[in-house]
């Protein structure tokens, strides 16, 4: 079952922070985060495996709350290069190791 | 070449044409995937191959025909497509979900932008 991302779109000014959420109706094995710039391939950012786990990539970090069956992606002091569409992909216990992507969150950073 | 490459990057075809999309991965992976990405829709998984064996076919119309001759190459053969098939077609590869399980990470190619007239 497809995870639900929120918000669908965010517009920020450079230097502001953003949070993107990814929620599942089923218990999660892992959460994968990708960023796709317009006209380019989705690029893998990070994977989270354990409840409460946090990871970081540049000034982008993420958390995984196993009990709430959700993950959040945090973008701190956003840069123009962070613009793009962010996708979460989830692997659930009932999903037969299958990675299912959310609908994406479009992030626009303005100078 | 590194990573995952796809050719052509852009393709315009009529509904009666036959064309093929090509994907090549240089990562030593055993699994390869085709996805369809339409505007304002999530990534739709079409086919999965593991060690050249098709392990998933997500109810894709027969006008799309995949081929995986070896673990580095994947093709998508197209014939008698419809205008609603216009989309970005993405190829991805991974170690192998049956081996790596929930840690299996997919790496994407740049995609082929397909327009069906």
Q: What is the pLDDT of residues B53-99, one digit of tens each?
A: 887 777 899 999 999 999 999 999 999 999 999 999 999 999 988 88
Those residues of chain A whose CB sits closer than 8 Å to some CB in chain B are 2, 29-30, 32, 34, 40-44, 47, 49, 87, 89, 91, 97-104
Q: What tokens were used for B34?
A: 């085709």
CB A88 within 8 A of CB A33: yes
Sign of the Cα torsion B30, A37, A59, A31 reads negative
Measured between CB atoms, does B105 come within 8 Å of chain A?
yes
Segment A47-84, tens digit of pLDDT:
998 666 666 767 899 999 888 899 999 999 999 999 99
Nearest residue of chain B to residue A41 (CA atoms): B110
Segment A24-55, tens digit of pLDDT:
998 888 999 999 998 888 999 999 986 666 66
HEC profile of chain B: CCCEEEECCEEEECCCCEEEEEEEECCCCCEEEEEEECCCCCCEEEEEEECCEEEEECCCCCCEEEEEEECCEEEEEEECCCHHHCEEEEEEEECCHHHHHHHCCCEECCCEEEEEC
Q: Which residues of B touch A99 (CB under 8 A)?
A: 97, 104, 106
Judged by CB atoms within 8 Å, which residues 60-99 of B form the interface with A?
90, 97-98
CA distance A45 to A85: 12
Give SS3 for A82. Answer: helix
Residue A87 and residue B43: Cβ atoms within 8 Å? yes
Among B42, B90, B97, the residue with its CB nearest the CB of A41 is: B90
Sign of the Cα torsion A66, A33, A45, A16 reads negative
Query: Residue B39 burial (CB < 10 Å; 0-12/13-18/19+)?
Result: exposed
Among A34, A41, A102, the residue with its CB nearest the CB of B111 is: A41
């Amino acid at each position: 079952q497809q995870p639900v991302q929120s918000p669908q779109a965010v517009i920020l000014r450079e230097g502001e922070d953003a949070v993107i959420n990814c929620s599942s109706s089923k218990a999660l094995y892992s959460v994968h985060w990708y960023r796709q710039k317009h006209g380019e391939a989705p690029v893998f950012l990070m994977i989270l495996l354990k409840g409460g786990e946090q990871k970081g990539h540049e000034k982008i970090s993420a958390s995984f709350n196993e009990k709430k069956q959700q993950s959040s992606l945090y973008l701190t002091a956003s840069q123009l290069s962070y613009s793009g569409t962010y996708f979460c992909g989830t692997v659930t216990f009932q999903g037969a190791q299958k990675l299912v992507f959310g609908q994406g969150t479009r992030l626009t950073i303005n100078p | 070449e590194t990573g995952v490459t796809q050719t052509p990057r852009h393709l315009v075809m009529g509904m009666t044409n036959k064309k093929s999309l090509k994907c090549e991965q240089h990562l030593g992976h055993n699994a390869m995937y085709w996805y369809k990405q339409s505007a304002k829709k999530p990534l739709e998984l079409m086919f999965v191959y593991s060690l050249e064996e098709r392990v998933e076919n997500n109810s894709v119309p027969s006008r799309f025909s995949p081929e995986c001759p070896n673990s580095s190459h994947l093709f998508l053969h197209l014939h008698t497509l419809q205008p609603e098939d216009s989309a970005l077609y993405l190829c991805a590869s991974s170690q192998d979900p049956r081996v790596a399980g929930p840690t299996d990470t997919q790496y994407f190619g740049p995609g082929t932008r397909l327009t069906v007239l």
